[in-house]
Chain A
Amino acid sequence: MTPLISVDHFSKSYEEVRAVRDLTFEVNRGELFGLIGPDGAGKTTTMRTLVTLLRPDTGSVTVDGMDVRTRMKDIRAITGYMPQRFSLYPDLSVEQNIRFFADLFAVPREELPARMDRLYRFSRLEAFSRRLAGRLSGGMKQKLALSCTLIHDPVLLVLDEPTTGVDPVSRNEFWEILHELRAQGVTIVVSTPYMDEAMKCDRIVIMHDGASLAQGSPRDLVASMTVPMYALDDRDLVMNFSRIETVPGVRSVQSFGDSLHITSDGDILPERLQSAIGGALGRDVHLRPISPSLEDVFIALIEEGGVHVL
C-alpha cells in the first residue's frame, strides 16, 4: 500500500530563519508516527504544512496522494488537526464546542448522537458537557480538543505537542487513547519533546535545527547505539565534569539529572575506565553499566551529525 504521507526534500523558511531543511520521510497508513525534537526543531512548521496551513518553499508534501499546495480543501476534509496551543472557544461549553466543529465539518446530523457518545466514552467528558471549555483542567482541555478533531472521523490525525503542560496521569491516559485510535485504523502524526513518549510511537523522525537526524522505530534507534554506557551517580560532579571528559577511553559525558552518562570508546574494560576516572578525580568512583535511552541516542546524534537507521 502507498504511504499516506509523503514528505520529499521539503524546506521552509520564514524571512531569515530556515525552519525546515531538506526533510524527507513517509508515514504509512495506520501508523503512529512521531516528530521528535526540542523547541525550534521545525516540528510545528512540518505539521502546519501537512495540514495545508503553510506551503512548502521547495520539495513536495502530499497527503493521500494530494499535494498540500493545490488540494487544500480536500486534505482539510480528511484531516484532524490539534494545534499546540489550546484553540477551542473557552466561552463555549464542551458540547457547544463539539457541535460547532461537527457543523463545520458537515457531520451528518443523524450520525451525530452516536459519534458524540463514542467521543464521550473515551474522553469521559460527558459529565462536563455543559461546562465552559475555559474552566476545564489541562488534561480535559486536551481531550476535548482531541474530541473536536475526531468528530468528522478523519483518516489522518495531526497532533502538535498534545501533552505539553499536561499532568503525567493525563499524559498516560492521552497516549492510551492514541493507541486505541491507531487500533481503529487512524493514522496519527504526533510531535513531542519527550523521549518517553517517542518510545510509544511505531516510527519516529528525530529532528534538530530543522533537519532530520535519524528515523526509524525507536527500539531500532536505541539498539543502533552499540558503544557501552555507564552512569556515574554523583550530584557534585553534574555541573563540573570537564576533568572526566579528558580521561583516555571516555568518548563523551552528559549530565542526566543527578547523574552523569559516560560513553566509552568501546575498547576499554569497565574496571580500567572506572579506575582511570577515579584517578583523574582523586577519589574512588562507581560506574554503573546502563543500556542507552533514546535521549542518549539523540544527544549522540547531535554531537556526531546524522546517522540513518531504517
Chain B
Amino acid sequence: MRRRLFAIIRKEFIHIFRDWRTLMIIILMPILMIVLYGYAITLDMRNIVFGVIDDARTTESRALIEAFSENGFFRPLHREIRRDDMEELFMRRDVHMVLVIPKTLSTDLITRRTATVQLIVDAGDSNVGTFVNNYAAQVLNIHNRRVNDTSPLLFTITPRIFYNPDMNSTHFFVPGLVALILMLISALLTSIAITREKETGTMEQILVSPVHAREIVLGKVLPYVFLGLINASLILISAWILFAVPVRGSLLLLGVLSLVYVFVALSFGLLISTVARTQLIAMFGTLMATILPTIMLSGFIFPIASMPDILQYFAQILPATYFLLIIRAIMLKGVGLAELWPEALILTGMGVLLLFAATRRFRMRLE
C-alpha cells in the first residue's frame, strides 16, 4: 500500500517539475490574477443586524431604536447586550453595528435640544462598514426630522470604525481573491491530473496492476497539496506587498487553514475528474463549478445575509464561504481558532467527504 502510494507521489512530482512551463503558469497566474482583480466593486445590502446598548430606557430611546428597526436595512438583535459582550459579538459576526444610547438622552434633548448617540460599526468588511455607516446616518436624519422638523440636526453621530479604520476596500477584497484563486487553481490541478492520464491512455496501463483506487486518488492529491501551499504563500505575500493587507492574527493558523482549504479544493477537482472524460471537459467543469459560485455566492462580493433564502442555503455548501470568514477574520480582525473552530471543522469535514466520494466514484475499469 505505502510503496504504491509513494511511487505515484514520486511520479507526480516528476511530472510537476519536468513540465516547467505549466509550473510557471501555476505559480505566476495567481499573482497576475490578484493584480488584475485587486480593485474594488461596489455593493448594496439589507438586513444588517445591529445590537443596542440602551442606557436611557425612555420613550425617546425606544423611538430611536424603532426608527432603525422599521426599515428593511437594519434588523435588531432581539436581546440585551452588555458593553463587555460587544467585542465577542463582532468576532462571531452576530452583529454588524451596535447602537449605544447614553443615559442622558431624554434630558439632553429637553435641556440642550441636542443629544449624542454612539454607533460602533464592524468594518472587517470595509464596504459593509461604509454602507452601515451611511444607512445609519440616513435613518437618524429621517428620525430627526420626524421628532422635530424645525431643527434637522438633533443628534450628532460619532462613528468609530472597527477592524478596517481606513475603510480600505482592498482589505476586504484581497482575502476574497485568495479564496477564489486557491479554489480555482487547486481544483484545476487535480481534475486535469487524472483526466490527462485517461486521455493519454496511461490510466488504462496503471489500472491493470494491483493498485487501489485510494492509492491513485491520494497519490494525486498529496503532491498538489504541496504545490497549493506554495501558491497560497505567494498569493498572501503579493497581497501584502501590493495592497498592504495586514495579517493581524496568527500566520501559522492562516497557513494551516489555507492548507485545509486547498485540500478541499483538490478533492473537489478529483471528484470532477472521476466524471469528466477529457481534460477539456474537466477544465470547463472546474471553471464553472468554482469561479461563478465563489464570486457570486460565497460572500466574496455580495453579503450572504442579503441573498434570497435559497441562495443562502446554497452558500452554506460552498467551501469558499467558510474560508472567506476564516481568512477575513484572521487577517483583519486577528481572530483565533477559539472563534473559528466551527468553520475549520466544516472545511475539514468537506475535504474528507469529497476525497471519500472521489475514491468511491473512481472507476477501476474502463466502463
Residues of A near any B CB (own CB < 8 A)? 48, 51-55, 72-73, 76-77, 79, 81-83, 85-89, 91-92, 96, 99-101, 103-106, 148
Contacts and interface: CB of A to CB of B under 8 A. Distances in A.
B4 A77 contact: no
Given A92-B11, A100-B11, A81 B205 contact: yes
B210 A104 contact: yes
B72 interface: no
B93 interface: no
Interface residues of B, number: 25
Contacts of B207: 53, 76
A83 B6 CA distance: 24
B208 A53 contact: yes
Contacts of B204: 53, 83, 87
Given A87-B201, A103-B7, A106-B3, A55 B208 contact: no
A101 B206 CA distance: 8
B201 A85 contact: yes
Contacts of A51: 208
Interface in B323-367: 364-367
B209 A105 contact: yes
Contacts of A79: 208
Nearest to B14: A92
Interface string B1-29: 00110110011001100110000000000
B202 to A, nearest CB: 5
A77 B210 contact: yes
A104 B366 contact: no
Interface of B: 3-4, 6-7, 10-11, 14-15, 18-19, 200-202, 204-211, 364-367
Contacts of A52: 208, 365
Contacts of A101: 209
Contacts of A105: 209-210
Given A53-B204, A103-B4, A104-B4, A96 B14 contact: yes
Nearest to A85: B201
B209 A104 contact: yes
Contacts of A54: 365-367
Given A48-B366, A55-B365, A103-B6, A76 B18 contact: no
B314 to A, nearest CB: 35
The 8 residue pairs across chains A and B that have the minimum distance between CB atoms? A103-B7, A87-B205, A87-B201, A81-B208, A104-B209, A85-B201, A91-B18, A53-B366
A285 B54 CA distance: 119
A287 B54 CA distance: 117
A100 B4 CA distance: 9
Nearest to A152: B209
Nearest to B205: A87
A101 B14 CA distance: 15
Given A105-B209, A148-B205, 20 more contacts: A52-B365, A55-B367, A72-B365, A76-B207, A77-B210, A79-B208, A83-B201, A83-B204, A88-B205, A89-B14, A89-B15, A91-B19, A92-B11, A96-B11, A99-B7, A100-B11, A103-B4, A104-B206, A104-B209, A106-B3
Contacts of B11: 89, 92, 96, 100
Contacts of B14: 89, 91-92, 96
B202 A87 contact: yes
B332 to A, nearest CB: 43
B357 to A, nearest CB: 21
A53 B10 CA distance: 25
B201 A104 contact: no
Contacts of A91: 14-15, 18-19
Contacts of B366: 48, 53-54
20 contacts: A51-B208, A52-B365, A53-B366, A54-B365, A54-B367, A55-B365, A83-B201, A83-B204, A87-B202, A87-B205, A89-B14, A91-B19, A96-B11, A100-B7, A103-B6, A104-B4, A104-B7, A104-B206, A104-B209, A106-B4
Contact of A76 (B4, B7, B201, B210): B210
Contacts of A82: 205
Contact of B202 (A48, A76, A89): A89
Contact of B208 (A76, A85, A92, A96): A76
B231 to A, nearest CB: 22
Contacts of B367: 54-55
A54 B18 CA distance: 33
A87 B207 CA distance: 11
Nearest to A80: B208
Contact of A106 (B19, B200, B205, B210): B210
A219 to B, nearest CB: 32
Contacts of B365: 52-55, 72
Contacts of B4: 103-104, 106
A101 B209 CA distance: 8
A83 B205 contact: yes
Nearest to A105: B209
A9 B366 CA distance: 21
Nearest to A73: B210
Contacts of B200: 87
